[in-house]
């Protein structure tokens, strides 16, 4: 905001003229004297002061309206993110879905039932996401994070989850058949009623997993699993799991 000051009345031209030396500077002094009078007259014009205050008020109202419309802007942002996800449904590639999913999750929007089957989602970060009944079938989500996410009844069949972080994930009733979990971290994951048939679990970190109620694990490869709970390897082998270095 401009600081207004009371300007003094400029001297008469006749008085100023006597003090001008050298005379060739007269045009410059005349121009300056005109501007001084203009500034003096405008400083006494109350309308300009009112306009100045109105300008400050317009900024204040702009800030108020900006914050009052924050909810609408967030809704529009979420709508656009869902539009990106739904438009690319059933297509390969990312199609902007990585950014859209992360943006929605950061705003704590539930992603229940989202369909990203076959999508390229390598490195997606969805910690603590609500992904119950989500469809990640055949999706490439290597090196991703689903730490402490809810994935109950999620379709992860044939999904590539190599080196991903599933620490504390809730995978109850999840379908992980033929999924690639090599090197993934499943520390503290809940696998009750999960289908791990033919899953690649090589070198997975299984510290503290809930495994006693796993639905199926036949033909799953458990070679090199780390921190497996007591009894897990023996139980898995008894129920058809294999332990071979390669994917065969």
- Per-residue model confidence as pLDDT tens digits over 180-207: 999 999 999 999 999 999 999 999 999 9
Burial of 148 (0-12, 13-18, 19+ CB in 10 A): middle
Question: Can you give the residue ranges of every domain in the chain?
Answer: 13-68, 71-248
Question: Who's near 49: CB < 8 A, 6+ residues apart?
Answer: 4
- Please state the φ and ψ torsions of residue 111, each to the nearest 5 degrees: -110, 30
Packing angle, helices 46-68 and 70-87, rounded to 10 = 40
Location of structure tokens 């005109």? 34
- Per-residue model confidence as pLDDT tens digits over 69-111: 556 678 899 999 999 999 988 777 888 999 999 999 999 999 9
Q: What is the CB-side half-sphere exposure of residue 174 using CA atoms within 13 A?
A: 31
Does the bond joining 22 to the residue before it have cis omega, within 30 degrees of 0? yes
Domain boundaries 71-248, corresponding CATH code: 2.160.20.80
User: Can you give the pTM of this predicted structure?
Assistant: 0.72
């Amino acid at each position: 905001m401009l600081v207004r000051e009371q300007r003094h009345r400029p001297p008469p031209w006749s008085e100023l003229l006597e003090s001008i030396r050298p005379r060739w500077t007269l045009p410059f002094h005349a121009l300056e004297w005109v501007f001084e009078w203009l500034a003096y007259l405008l400083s006494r014009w109350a309308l300009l002061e009112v306009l100045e205050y109105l300008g400050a008020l317009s900024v204040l109202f702009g800030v108020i309206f900006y914050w009052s419309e924050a909810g609408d802007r967030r809704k529009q942002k979420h709508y656009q993110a869902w539009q990106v996800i739904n438009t690319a449904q059933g297509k390969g590639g990312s199609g902007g879905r990585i950014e859209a999913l992360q943006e929605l999750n950061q705003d704590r929007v539930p992603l229940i039932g989202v369909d990203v089957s076959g999508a390229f989602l390598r490195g997606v970060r969805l910690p603590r996401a609500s992904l119950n009944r989500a469809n990640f079938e055949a999706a490439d989500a290597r090196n991703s994070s689903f730490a402490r996410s809810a994935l109950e009844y999620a379709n992860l069949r044939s999904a590539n989850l190599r080196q991903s972080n599933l620490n504390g994930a809730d995978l109850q009733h999840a379908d992980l058949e033929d999924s690639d979990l090599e090197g993934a971290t499943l520390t503290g994951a809940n696998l009750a009623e999960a289908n791990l048939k033919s899953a690649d679990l090589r070198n997975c970190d299984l510290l503290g997993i809930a495994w006693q109620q796993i639905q199926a694990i036949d033909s799953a490869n458990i070679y090199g699993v780390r921190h497996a709970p007591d009894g897990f390897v023996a139980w898995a082998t008894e129920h058809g799991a294999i332990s071979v270095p390669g994917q065969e």
